[in-house]
Amino acid sequence: MSNKLFLILLLVMGSVRLQAQENTSHQIHLMPWPQEMKTNDSNFSITEDFSVFIHGEQDKYTRISKAAVRFIRYMTDKSGVFVTQGFPNAKGVAASSASLHIYVDTEANIMMGIDESYTLTVTDTGMEIHATTDVGAMHGLSTLLQLIKADKGGYVFTGIEIKDEPRFVWRGLMMDVARHFMPIDVVKRNIDAMALVKLNVFHWHLSDDQGFRVETKTLPELYKKASDGLYYTQAEIKDIVKYADDRGIRVVPEFDVPGHGSAFLTAFPELGSKKGMTYSVERNSGIFDPTLDPTNEKTYEFLDTLFKEVAPLFTDVYFHIGGDENEGKHWHENPEIQQFMKENKLKDNHELQTYFNIRLEKILAKYGKSLMGWEEIMTPNMPKSALIHSWRGVNEGMQPGESLIKAVKNGYQTILSNGYYIDLLLSVEDHYLVDPMPDVTLTDKEAKRILGGEATMWAELVTPLTVDSRIWPRTAAIAERFWSAQEVRDIDHMYERLNTVSQFLELVGIQHLKSQEYLLRNISNYQDTHGLRQLTTISEPFKIYSRNAGGTQYKTYSPFTLFADACIADAKAVRSFRKLVDAYVDQSDQTVKEDLMRYFKAWGAIADQLKTIEPHAPLVSRVIPYAERVGEIAVISEKAIENKRISEEELQRLKALLEQKEDPEVNLDVELAVTKDIMKLAEYLAKN
């Protein structure tokens, strides 16, 4: 064989191997996607003799030992295998015979910037995780859990070699428990889900106009008068912090001041900026006027007392003071505050709030805490030690990432939430394509000040029943943006993997799938839910705060068990239907016609099914007019695609139906998520 021919053969073989590698990697459904990964042809089978051995001084590694126990439990729940050994380093089991070997150099103190890297190897003879810290090893276990797959009548771990580390040090989820209180079990299961997708900061929003949620022994009026009896005891706070620590997750508390102050002032009205006013806990949503008085020394004595007591409950150095959305109406109306501003040469409310924030920064420093707050705290006089939380977007007159860029250029460390407001109920790809690193030129020093980001779950329209379905699985995709390489942006691949990670989220306790089934049973009054379920696959809740516009339609005690609550941001059938329409219209693919017809037939039958259960299900009555409209849309569309044409009269009727809004008195609050796709199909057929 000539050298030239041999070289060509090598290149061809290499190309085939590369293509095979790419094809194999797309069968791996990990999230977040690892930094470096190489698959192999082997699998490791899960059998009854599965065992784990942690190398080193195991007594020092309690965190990884607990994590290994949880891993074994998840593995056996998934596989159904009765393992002989349910704990790592079991007596009588030789290290050499272990299925999984974990090598850890040190147990980390949970703080920002620790080494979270790991390597993972899976072959048919065994598995190994190597990490500098136990936190890195736990990330390896999270990855390994997602590598479980069914194979030949059993379950196996996919053969692989991974070298992995996070792109950003701050990868968070904020949970608002003030608007709607979230019990301990809800918080814990969401922390478990965070660990699965390698998030490492739980930002706990503990006070707002609608409630103060922490037991205080020095200021008991706060939780007695402003919590409706729904609060966390100090023992429960410590338990959550320890629970998160065991999973490598930091807990950052937020007590929002000086605005969003209704709950504070319900208990201590004398600290308010409007004297003689009787304050009460808010039941509606929105931005309200009650604000702490920054010119009153008693305000700082109060906050010093509060922070002195609550700061030690949280082990993390950062303490979030909120600082957002203070319009200062009561400051304008108070002559004493206006006089104070003149005497102290404070030209506007922003400078007055900066005065307030600087006082708080000094109070927190006494208790070993570093201040962070929403982007409104950033002013020329704010100490550079403050961490700026960027959140405002186009709706607030800001360009995406504008405050984040301003912060890093002014010397502040910062994290990004603009683009990750999951309560907006946008599609997952809207969040997935937002990156904490802006597309502008930054120096290396400026770029390092961008620590990462947080998904934010504000709770005006969620309860413990629905919160999981609003956070997950979309936040898993956001977690990937914080962890994985910037170029990991393939939308189709993301959706493909998100479906699998959703199943693993349920394995670790998240109730995003379970809660929908309950809601549908409740709406149907425990009758047949088939029609309702069909309707949820093409219906999505109103987005960008258009549900409950003005904040008064729903109160904190209103029912959140309606059809809109059973729907999710990424309705199940929308993406597959869109692909069929695109294939039919853009590629003239007639083979998808029958698939489109099946969708239309199914949607056309929904209203009749709902009418059969309506007599014994009052809540279904609200849904039927919408289902009838969907049915008529389906009938027109089915006829059009069957005839390969649509008349002008039918086209105009279809447009009218697609543009029709639901009766606001019905409170259905959903939109037909396939509207644009049906219109695209109809306009194509109208041209024929």
| Alpha carbon 472 to its chain's center | 6
659: its two tokens: 């543009």
| Alpha carbon 297 to its chain's center | 39
Write phi, then psi, for 176 (nearest 5 degrees): -85, 115
SS3 label, residue 216:
coil
Alpha carbon distance 135, 246 (integer Å): 9
| Most distant CA pair in the chain, distance | 98
| Type of residue found at 95 | A
Alpha carbon distance 167, 474 (integer Å): 19
Q: Sign of the CA dihedral 271, 273, 275, 276?
A: negative
Assign 3-class secondary structure to 518-563. HHHHHHCCCCCCHHHHHHHCCEEECCCCCCCCCCCCCCCCCCCCCH
Write phi, then psi, for 99 (nearest 5 degrees): -80, -40
Number of helices and strands (H, E) in the chain? 26, 18
CA 423-248-135 angle, to 5 degrees, is: 130
Residue carrying structure tokens 């349910």: 86
Confirm if 564 and 469 have CB atoms less than 8 A apart. no
Give the catalytic positions in this structure.
Answer: 325
Q: How far is CA 361 from CA 300, 311, 319, 414, 603, in A?
A: 11, 13, 10, 16, 58
DSSP 272: B
Confirm if 577 and 542 have CB atoms less than 8 A apart. no
